[in-house]
């Protein structure tokens, strides 16, 4: 049996309490780019989504919602458009 390297990436996660929410912020470094991701587990995801979107918009942060996994991005070799 032979193993084949399919590529890789480095992920650094910070966990922060913000406005009563527990935010998990990821910085993912690929060979070709860096991406950032916010995750938040909640019993009220619609409200959390509105709060986070408002904060990002008020601070001029462009964002989109993940449609593929970090591993899929690594395999594709570029960030989603």
pLDDT band at 76 (very low <50, low <70, confident <90, very high): confident
Distance CA 29, CA 21 (A): 25
Q: Are strands 21-29 and 10-18 parallel, antiparallel or unpaired?
A: antiparallel
Q: Which two tokens stand for residue 61?
A: 């942060």
2 pLDDT higher than 80: yes
56 pLDDT higher than 90: yes
To the nearest whole percent, how much of the chain has pLDDT over 70? 100
Distance CA 7, CA 65 (A): 23
Would residue 47 be called left, alpha or beta, if left means φ above 0 and alpha means ψ between -120 and 50 degrees? alpha
Q: pTM of the predicted model, to two decimals?
A: 0.81
């Amino acid at each position: 049996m032979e193993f084949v390297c399919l590529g890789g990436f480095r992920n650094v996660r910070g966990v922060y309490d913000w406005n009563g929410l527990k935010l998990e912020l990821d910085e993912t470094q690929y060979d070709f780019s860096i991406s950032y991701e916010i995750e938040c587990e909640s019993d009220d995801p619609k409200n959390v989504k509105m709060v986070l979107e408002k904060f990002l918009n008020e601070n001029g942060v462009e964002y989109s919602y993940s449609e593929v996994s970090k591993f899929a991005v690594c395999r594709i070799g570029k960030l989603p458009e």
